[in-house]
Each structure stands twice: as structure tokens, then as C-alpha cells.
Structure 1
Amino acid sequence: MTPRLLEKYRNEITSQMMSKFGIKNKMAVPKIDKIVINMGVGEALQDIKILEKSMEELATITGQRPIMRRAKKAIANFKIKENNPIGCKVTLRRAMMYEFLDRLVNVALPRIRDFRGVSGDGFDRSGNFSVGLTEQGIFPEIDFDKLTRTQGMDITFVIKNSKTKEQSKELLKLFGMPFKIEEK
């Protein structure tokens, strides 16, 4: 079965983006290529079980097994040696990506206490968007009573064919991403 947001992208969003930005070819419309979710677990240096628990939670949230990230080089101030496990990440593509985006926008973000919208400052020059979450408990898959510690995560939306930040922001708005309204 095709994900709901993929159907919406094909049927509604492409035509809206083409008319708004004057794009002539349907293949030139900006599209989300992948979503990368990263959890940096600094406490893994003292106890590897913390990292294993975080990997388990990330797998529960995304439906895909994360890979362990290791330190590329030693940093003495943080007591990190080269090849120490320091986090985990998942790269979502295709159907699982759209399913995750649907759950993030419609279920997880509204569950954040005092949520006023996502900051629009997370765009880079290429039009990719990054947002940080402070706790994993906002996802309905995580049982809040079984949480031993709160763990934040970084979510990056890699958008291809985007010429500007405005195109990327409009694409995410059409998918339902709740951006903060800038006061003038």
C-alpha cells in the first residue's frame, strides 16, 4: 500500500509547487530524498548499555535497525578515543520515510508540551532542513513508563532538486510541517 503522504505528493504537492515556482517539468520539482535521524549518546563511553537502549528505541520509532556511529578521531577534552561508540543513526528512504514523516508531523510534534511550531532557521544552503528534538517520548511507539532517561535526536530532511530555502520550506509546509509564524 502506498503511504498517504506519497499519494499527496504525487497528486497535490507537485502541481502546487510547479505553479508557485514556475517549474515546467514534473521531475524538476523538489522532493524529499531521505530522512536521517541521529542520536548522539555521549554517556555510551561509561556504559554501553545506554547506547544499546537508545538503538532499541530508535529502531522502535523508525521501524528500521540503526547503525552504531563511532568516533572518527580522539578528542581528549571529551575523553573520546578513536573508534569509541558515540551514537547511532538511521537513514529512511521511500515508503518508510513517508510513514515516519506522517507520524512526526501529525502525532509526535503536537505531543510536545507548549509546542508553537518548528523553527525555520534549520535550512542550509542546499535547502536541506535539520531539526532537533529534546526527547524520544513524544513518539507514540515509546512507552513513557519504561523510559529510563530522555534522549534527544537530530532529524535531517535531505531535499533534492531544491534551488532555494524557500522551495524547501514550501515543500515541507505542504507536507504539513508546522513552522513557527515569524512576527514582524
Structure 2
Amino acid sequence: MAAKKSKKGAYVAVAKAPETPRLKQHYIDEVRDDLQKRFNYKNVMQVPTFEKIVVNMGVGEAATDSKAIDGAISDLREITGQQPLVTHARKSIATFHLREGQAIGAKVTLRGDRMWEFLDRLIAIAIPRIRDFRGLSPKSFDGHGNYSLGVTEQLIFPEVDFDKIDHTRGMDITIVTTAPTDDEAQALLEGFHFPFAEA
């Protein structure tokens, strides 16, 4: 909040407009125009962008330890800044000691500014902290312009305190784009220096 002097001489509080996330501004200033020229889109509305990011953490030990889900919820909340949704088993599987309706994981769907800020932290901070990192597979697209990557431990995110975690857990991150093809989605991600491995 900033103070501004009114016509009568009294100071009134004026709300500051929120800053545009860094990667969103980069998309508006550079990436969008580059993609429009490269793929010859007729108008700016055809240019692919990010729709949402889904972060999913499966908790296999939740079948035997009901408190394990709390750790996953806490970690996801720290990483994304949003309250996770608990996922439940759709059917019983005796081999895995699973009952229908049992909590088996947590997920978060990020949209808008939170999505852009998470993507920024993922590219700039988290991915470079992966041990023995040799680039992300360019083959992890689903055929519809969406990209999925698996992370083996939540500790690559600096928001997670090593002393407060109960287990190291992996997670799946799905980046959903409006791109109709995988090539266009890859070009979109490369515009943000997404670290793909050399094919």
C-alpha cells in the first residue's frame, strides 16, 4: 500500500498494482512474437501459451501409514504456495493393500500468476539442483502439446526444509499448454530456456 495526497490534503491509501511475473513478461515481450513469426500464426490469439501446471505427489506408503499423506500435503503446500487436494483410490486392489476411497496422494493445479512464478522457480532454481542432471527428455510430450516430467525428490525446491521432511518423495509435474502439436509446445518451452537434452 502506498500513500497518496488527496485534493483536500489528507493522505489516502492507494493499492499498488501487482507486478507481472518475470516469465509472463518475457512471454509477452519476446516469446509470443518469436513463435508467431516461426509458425506463421494469423493472429496473436493462435500463439501457444501455458494453460496450467499440475503437480502430483503419489504416496505409496499411505496404504500402510495414514499419516504419510500429511507430509506430502505439507511439502506440496510449501513448494506451490497453494493448498493441495487429496487424491483417493478409485477402486480396491488387494495386491497393494488398497481400499476404494483411501487417500493415496496429493495434487495441486496452478493457474495464472502462481503458475508463471512456479515455472520460473522450476526452470531457474529447482531443475539446476537435480543431481547428475543431463537435460530433460524431449520425448516426454503426450502428443497433444503437454509436457510431463518426473522429479525423484522434493528437496530440489528450496522452499522445502530438509530438517522438517519425513521422507524424500518424488512428484510428477505436467505442463499443460494450448499448443496443438508437440513441436509447437517444445518451441514454447525452449523460448524459456527449458533445459532439454540434446537428441
Report the TM range for the smaller structure's normalisation: over 0.9
* TM-score, normalised via structure 2 length: 0.89
Using the TM superposition, give the Cα deviation of residue 71 of structure 1 relative to its aligned residue in structure 2, in angstroms: 0.6
Structure-1 residue corresponding to 2:184: 167
The answer to whether residue 44 in structure 2 is matched with residue 26 in structure 1 is: yes
Using the TM superposition, give the Cα deviation of residue 42 of structure 1 relative to its aligned residue in structure 2, in angstroms: 1.0
Cα distance between partner residues in 1 of 2:20 and 2:85: 26
Cα distance between partner residues in 1 of 2:62 and 2:96: 12
Which of 125, 147, 152 aligns to 1:134? It is 152
Aligned-partner SS, 2:186? helix
Count of matched residue pairs: 181
Say which one has the larger Rg: 2
Alignment of 1:51-90 (within 5 A): 51-90=69-108
More helix, by proportion: 1
Alignment of 1:1-184 (within 5 A): 1-160=19-178, 162-182=179-199
Unaligned ranges ≥5, structure 2? 1-18
Cα distance between partner residues in 1 of 2:157 and 2:137: 19
- Range moving further from structure 2, 141-150 or 59-68: 141-150
Cα distance between partner residues in 1 of 2:92 and 2:141: 29
The runs of 4+ residues in structure 1 deviating greater than 6 Å are none
Unaligned ranges ≥5, structure 1? none
Higher RCO (Cα < 8 Å, 6 or more apart): 1
Between the aligned residues of both structures, percent identity stands at 50
- Structure 2: which amino acid aligns with 1:50? A
* TM-score, normalised via structure 1 length: 0.96
Aligned-partner SS, 1:81? coil
Cα distance between partner residues in 2 of 1:138 and 1:144: 10
Using the TM superposition, give the Cα deviation of residue 11 of structure 1 relative to its aligned residue in structure 2, in angstroms: 1.0
